[in-house]
């Protein structure tokens, strides 16, 4: 398998910073066409639980930096 067929992404359960004061947990990973990755993140906002999908570039900081690698044939 060539190196071009390897995709890295953050694990479900990874803590991330989305905005200046919003810390969330990755609760879902979606792998799309051309190996694009989006993350469903969830966080508490007062007494309400919020969920939203973010692109990798929307995540400002990753608290847990371990990634998972998968390969495609």
Reported as a single tens digit per residue, the pLDDT across 1-42 is 445 677 888 889 999 988 778 899 999 999 988 888 999 999
Instruction: Name the CATH code of domain 3-64 (choices 2.30.30, 2.60.120, 3.40.50, 2.60.40).
Output: 2.30.30
Residue found under tokens 């990634």: 67
**Local confidence band at 70 (pLDDT 50, 70, 90 cut-offs):** low
Instruction: Give burial (CB, 10 Å; 0-12/13-18/19+) of 35.
Output: middle
> Which one is predicted more confidently, 59 or 29?
29
- pTM surpassing 0.85? no
**In terms of pLDDT, which residue wins out, 63 or 7?**
7
Q: Taking 60 as the threshold, does the pLDDT of residue 73 lie above it? A: no
Rounded to whole angstroms, how far apart are CA atoms 46 and 50?
Answer: 10
């Amino acid at each position: 398998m060539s190196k071009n067929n390897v995709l890295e992404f953050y694990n479900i359960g990874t803590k991330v910073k989305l905005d200046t004061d919003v810390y969330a947990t990755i609760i879902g990973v979606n792998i799309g066409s051309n190996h694009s990755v989006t993350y469903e993140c969830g966080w508490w906002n007062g007494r309400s639980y919020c969920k939203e999908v973010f692109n990798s570039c929307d995540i400002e900081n990753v608290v847990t930096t371990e990634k998972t690698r998968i390969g495609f044939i």
